[in-house]
Chain A
Amino acid sequence: MKTDGQSKLKRTLSGGGFAVTAECGPPRGADASVIRKKGETLKGCVDAVNVTDNQTAVVRMSSLAACLHLIDIGVEPVMQMVTRDRNRIALQSDIMGAYSLGIRNLLCLSGDHQSLGSQPEAMNVFDIDSLNLVHAVRVMRDEGKDMSGFSLIGAPEMFIGAAENPFADPLSYRVVRLAKKIDAGVDFIQTQCVYNLPRFKEWMRQAREEGLTEKVYIMAGITPLKSTRMAQFMAAKVAGMDIPQEVIDRMSAFTGQRAIEEGMNIALETIAAVKSIPGVRGIHIMAIEAEERVPELVKAAGLSQRPAK
């Protein structure tokens, strides 16, 4: 296991390149082949792959372990960490362990509430929030100190990310929150998936106005729709999702394979659109249980040759 080396994702972004990341979820069990297979699918077409942390509060193989499987097959992971299940002691501990094993990118999140997940009887933790986590990791990296001020024997030099949702309520506050995350130490942001371009453009405009796009790499979230039903479900049930009626209408004109193609078309148009917005430095493809679509999407968008040299 290599422990050297900077994050390739960081290198791409800091070198001025347009980065592409994707996402995959570990299996609900100990079967490593599931994650390794997903990794093989994504290998070579993205700069890094996010590995979720008990996403939607459903118990899965740990993000840290799944990240190691990806490293093992030559894929660079972004380890996601939620503050729902682990206190500061465990979080810092896992970050140090992760770095020692070659993990270089960390995405800090609060996490979906356990009442929505597979074991709602569990006690939650929420000892610290995602901003506290970002701050702690930055101090660990830049000052070599843990949260008690102890000088670490080996500082984990993580490339620090966070999520942001330009479509969540309250809109007025979203840019304030982005600024706060940057001040706390965020290096890169991955947004919730973009369908509502005008609103996304407005959020980017406000971010630019505040000088934030100079301080953080913003990557726009992209999720190809597969059917009208998927679009309607996401619009109605997923918190913070904004799918304009015209997008749903476009999808409802097709069924089956034609719908999947239309979904890809919409995704490609969105990618082209966000690429041209100043301040957008990459895309983050969240192809939910459809990782096999990612390579063709990346290729059709003209974003192949990953990781960029």
Chain B
Amino acid sequence: MIVAKQKPLAEIKEMLRPFEKVLILGCGTCVKTCFAGGEDEVAMLGAALRLAFRQDGKTIRTEELTVERQCEDAFIQESAQAVSRNEAILSLACGAGVQAMARRFARAVLLPGLNTTFMGVLEKPGLFTEECAGCGDCELDTFGGICPVTRCSKRLLNGPCGGSKNGKCEVSPDIECAWQLIIDRLTLLGQSDNLKRYIPAKDWRPSLSGGPRRLVREDHVI
């Protein structure tokens, strides 16, 4: 899923200061799962903002609505009326959802309520970790299902650096050394010969480095 975190309340408050009628629009998919932008979070943020502005002696009128996914036109269309009723939309979707809204409602002021961070998983209750960098050319079969592009802080493809200590990355003791994980996993799988294989320099063209990407499925284009 896409993992995001709500912006600090103070930052959101500043973004909303010029407005008196705001739509807080949530998204029921990825950001709901990481407790950033689902229905519950929309309600909490609405109440928090009203209370916060009340402290300043200001009344802000908020409308609250959550759609299934803000990245799909079929769902965001449902918000059309609410959009037209408000001066600005505080979107609690990931960056893609915010932009989908901006595309659809070209005259609406779109404000991002979240900081979108990574593609990841729920490793255990309360812990989300980054797993995939979207390099566009997956080599997880070589690395025993652990991605060195994403999870090695230096994107090394040919083994660990000298900073790996007790299975932790030199960047932070909270980060596991991906190469330690890869070595352990490949050994477990009986594939440690993969570690001897020279992996050539990566072709980054399929990644964001090659420019923002598109996927066209001709069989679906009408």
Contact = CB atoms under 8 A, between A and B. Distances in A.
A113 B196 contact: no
Given A147-B201, A173-B195, A132 B157 contact: yes
Given A110-B156, A113-B153, A126-B154, A168 B165 contact: yes
Contact of B156 (A129, A136, A239): A129
A183 interface: yes
A301 interface: no
Contacts of A176: 159, 195-196
Interface in A142-184: 147, 163-165, 168-170, 173, 176-177, 179-180, 183-184
Interface in B173-222: 177, 180, 183, 195-196, 198-202, 204
B126 interface: no
Contacts of B180: 169-170
Contacts, number: 97
B170 A116 contact: yes
Given A113-B153, A169-B180, A239 B164 contact: yes
Nearest to A126: B155
A84 B180 CA distance: 20
A240 B201 contact: no
Contacts of B157: 129, 131-132
B79 interface: no
Given A136-B201, A169-B167, A170-B180, A179 B196 contact: yes
A47 B162 CA distance: 25
Contact of B164 (A115, A164, A169, A183): A169
A291 interface: no
A40 interface: no
Interface in A118-145: 124, 126-132, 135-136
Contacts of B154: 83-84, 110-111, 113, 124, 126, 129
Contacts of A270: none
Contact of B200 (A116, A132, A239): A132
Interface string B123-134: 000000000000
A13 B170 CA distance: 33
A67 B84 CA distance: 65
A113 to B, nearest CB: 5
Contacts of A183: 198
Interface in A84-131: 84, 88, 110-113, 115-116, 124, 126-131
A192 interface: yes
B141 to A, nearest CB: 19
B171 interface: yes
A183 B199 CA distance: 12
Contact of B162 (A83, A132, A163): A163
A147 B203 CA distance: 12
B138 interface: no
A84 B154 CA distance: 8
B81 interface: no
B163 interface: yes
A84 B161 CA distance: 12
Contact of B165 (A84, A131, A240): A240
Contacts of A84: 154
Contacts of B159: 131, 173, 176-177, 180
A239 B165 contact: yes
Residue of A84, A169, A176 with highest tally of chain B CB at under 10 A: A169
A113 B171 CA distance: 7
Residue of A88, A112, A116, A239 with highest tally of chain B CB at under 10 A: A239
Given A135-B198, A170-B180, A180-B198, A113 B163 contact: yes
A128 B202 contact: yes
A164 B171 CA distance: 19
Residue of A83, A173, A184 with highest tally of chain B CB at under 10 A: A173
B55 interface: no
Nearest to A173: B183
Contacts of B202: 127-128
14 contacts: A88-B201, A112-B170, A113-B163, A116-B171, A124-B154, A127-B204, A129-B154, A132-B157, A147-B201, A169-B166, A169-B177, A170-B180, A177-B158, A184-B158
Given A112-B163, A132-B158, 8 more contacts: A112-B170, A128-B202, A131-B157, A131-B158, A131-B198, A176-B159, A177-B160, A184-B198
Nearest 7 CB-CB pairs, A to B? A131-B158, A132-B201, A239-B163, A165-B162, A126-B155, A128-B201, A129-B156
